[in-house]
Structure 1
Amino acid sequence: MPPSARPRSRIQQRNREVILDAALEVFSQHGFRGATLDQIAEVAGLSKPNLLYYFPSKEAVHKALLTGLLDTWLDPLRAMNPGGEPLAEIMAYVRRKLDLARDYPRESRLFAGEILQGAPRMREAIEGDLRDLVDEKARTLRRWMEEGRIARVDPVHLIFSIWALTQHYADFDVQVRAVLGPGHDPFAEAGSFLETLFARLLATGQAPG
């Protein structure tokens, strides 16, 4: 029986988690192409042969990270309730995405790096689970628009704009903090601004039809 098929001991599970956390740090700093197994092993505090016991290649480590990340990334959109009050549901989604950018900046940069490379290790997932979820929520948004509960805008591009305006604060964190200067909380300030922006955009009769 190969190691991957055997039940993991507590130590093996811990080592796997340590390797993945180290890999997240290395990949988010250096990208997939710039990262090496030697760097990941060093950050993890393990030997390279020990690392290779758990993951046979750099690609395997990267894929394991991305597989776990996709669920984390989709959960905030999944939580949008089609039976809820439209504007409140959209504002809550914006807040969840902003919280995700604040709490998981390395994961955000890892995801962005994969997409910028053409998503070679995630294309199937983004053309499957991600697109299916966006289509589902776009139908909900379109229904709310047809019912006159929010203004008419393109629902898919609305979702894109929420992604862009929230993930920016993780992917360009250094730039954001350099421009704002000390004494600012980018995420608190962004939350208030984005709620105002989307509330005005989606208020009935105030957005382009």
Structure 2
Amino acid sequence: MEAPATTAQTRIQKENSARILEAALDVFSTHGYSGATLDLIARGAGLSKPNLLYYFPSKQAIYGTVLAGLMKTWLDPLRTMDPEGDPIAEIIAYVQRKLEMSRLYPRESRLFANEILQGAPRIMDQIQGELRELVEEKATLIERWQAEGKLVTLDARHLIFSIWATTQHYADFDVQVRGILAPTQDHHFNQADQFLSALYRGALTPKI
């Protein structure tokens, strides 16, 4: 009789942890780390503050868990760039994946932007480690494609930065974009996809 109870408790713990992290994402992306409080997170999760502290000992612990998941989500689209694929198609596909992330994960994008604006005190190790290594790997790949004459020669690292800037804008400045365009639901993401695909295709295709 005890095994089902243990299984049920484990399930409940997982569900409550997920509720806390979901609420924390809302609170941190809206208020930043300094403005976020355990009370706000507990309220968003539908739990008492003592109950929340049973799962996470501090605001810092919750934030660290949210950021760890965010970094993985953020790096995956760049990791999937295929060295054996068509260079222009691979880069445009990366642009499209990043744009889709802005559509699906605007809170995560704003949270990341807030952390960067504060000087990245809690993720600088990942930026200078895992992220830098990945950017160097893909920049080297892009430079190889350029040397093979498959792409226009441009600074590969700044090319990656430009993709981040043009795609994450639609999440970080969502209110401004919607205020100007007054789109029907997310229709402007389709327009952005067409525009950015044409922009990067034109910029990267070697002239014959």
Shorter chain as denominator, the TM-score bin is: over 0.9
Q: Which residue in the other structure is 1:205 paired with?
A: 207
**2: CA distance, partners of 1:199 / 1:134:** 21
Q: Which residue in the other structure is 1:158 paired with?
A: 159
Deviation at 1:22, TM superposition (A): 0.3
**After TM superposition, what 4+ stretches of structure 1 lie above 6 angstroms from structure 2?**
none
* AA of the residue aligned to 2:197: E
Q: Which residue in the other structure is 1:191 paired with?
A: 193
Q: Which residue in the other structure is 1:126 paired with?
A: 127
Q: Which residue in the other structure is 2:117 paired with?
A: 116
Deviation at 1:205, TM superposition (A): 3.1
Deviation at 1:140, TM superposition (A): 0.3
* AA of the residue aligned to 1:157: H
Aligned length in residues: 200
* AA of the residue aligned to 1:202: L
* AA of the residue aligned to 1:189: Q
What stretches of structure 2 of length at least 5 have no aligned partner?
A: 1-6
* AA of the residue aligned to 2:200: F
**2: CA distance, partners of 1:186 / 1:174:** 13
Report % sequence identity: 60
**2: CA distance, partners of 1:134 / 1:82:** 14
Q: Which residue in the other structure is 1:174 paired with?
A: 175
Q: Which residue in the other structure is 1:26 paired with?
A: 27
What stretches of structure 1 of length at least 5 have no aligned partner?
A: 1-6
Contact kept, 8 Å, 1:169 with 1:186, in 2: the verdict is no
Deviation at 1:203, TM superposition (A): 1.1
* AA of the residue aligned to 1:196: A
**2: CA distance, partners of 1:162 / 1:59:** 31
Deviations 1:86-141 (A, max 9, x none): 00000100000000110000011111111110111101011111000000000000
Contact kept, 8 Å, 1:86 with 1:150, in 2: the verdict is yes
Deviation at 1:181, TM superposition (A): 1.8
**2: CA distance, partners of 1:143 / 1:70:** 27
**1: CA distance, partners of 2:27 / 2:72:** 21
Deviation at 1:182, TM superposition (A): 3.8
- 1:53 maps to 2:46: no
Higher mean displacement: 175-184 or 162-171? 175-184
Q: Which residue in the other structure is 1:149 paired with?
A: 150
Q: Which residue in the other structure is 1:3 paired with?
A: none
Q: Which residue in the other structure is 2:42 paired with?
A: 41
Provide the TM-score with structure 1 as the length reference: 0.93
* AA of the residue aligned to 1:31: G
- 1:80 maps to 2:81: yes
**2: CA distance, partners of 1:75 / 1:43:** 28
Question: 1:110 aligns to what SS in structure 2?
Answer: helix
**1: CA distance, partners of 2:168 / 2:107:** 11
Question: 2:53 aligns to what SS in structure 1?
Answer: helix
Deviations 1:179-199 (A, max 9, x none): 012437221110000011101
Question: 1:9 aligns to what SS in structure 2?
Answer: helix
